[in-house]
Amino acid sequence: MILDCGPIGPDYQPGHGHCDVLSYELSLCGQCVVVDTGASTYEPGPERSYERSTAAHNTVRIDNEEQAEIWASFRVGRRPRTGELRGGRNGPFCFLTGEHNAYQRLGVAHARTILFHAPDTWIVADLLRGSGSHLVESFLHFHPGVLVETVTDLNETSDGLPLRRWTVEFAHEPYLLTAYGAGEFDNRKSWYAERFGDRQPSTALRWTWKGTIPTGMIHIFTPMGTSLPHIAADWPANSIAIDGQKMPLR
């Protein structure tokens, strides 16, 4: 996994930066699975604007606002600042946590914690702190070689946390994607630019939720047949518990 925890670019030349703070890319069993959209063109227009946007990356957007003020092909105005990066081990989990202030003007702070449980389970927990009612969207973009299919409709954990599942298949290596949290999901058509000038059709998953914060979203990648962890969330306390192991999110 590669996690983008830094600024969008150097302050003296941010023009090649995208709205990708706390976005990640994930490979499983040697296959690219979760990928950013990429950069297929530098020509001004809708394609260039989309590829620089928050929605083109595997991160969170608040109230339909971009993480940075971007326009034309290389222009950037207001831009997010990243906070302290923390990492280490908590029980059986290796973790990495980062945050940014892109939505400070909206009264919202976004922190993301990545947890890895050896040998092959990845947990992504997003915490939204602040106050008021907001539209929260989380995006996941899949490599063109990955097939994503819904396993079940809305279900619930024993704690009443909404739960949905998808199979994620690639090269005959099935994984399960599980999302914990309220909201709606839809598949979107996107593209993947592995190299400049080349766009391949791909699938993106958008998770949409509207309500009062603090709140959070959790999604997990596990090999098919692996037991799912039991998760309990305490968003006001900035923490979750995974199989009884408490995990501070910030």
- Range(s) of the domain holding residue 128: 2-248
Cα distance between the two ends of the chain: 20
Residue 149 is inside which H or E element, if any?
A: strand 147-156
Token readout for 83 is 């906070």
Q: What is the mean pLDDT of each run of 10 residues along the chain (250 residues)?
A: 90 90 95 96 96 98 96 92 92 95 96 95 97 97 95 67 89 90 92 96 97 96 91 92 90
Q: Domain of 223: which CATH number? A: 2.70.98.70
pTM: 0.94
Total structural domains within the chain: 1
Distance CA 169, CA 240 (A): 28
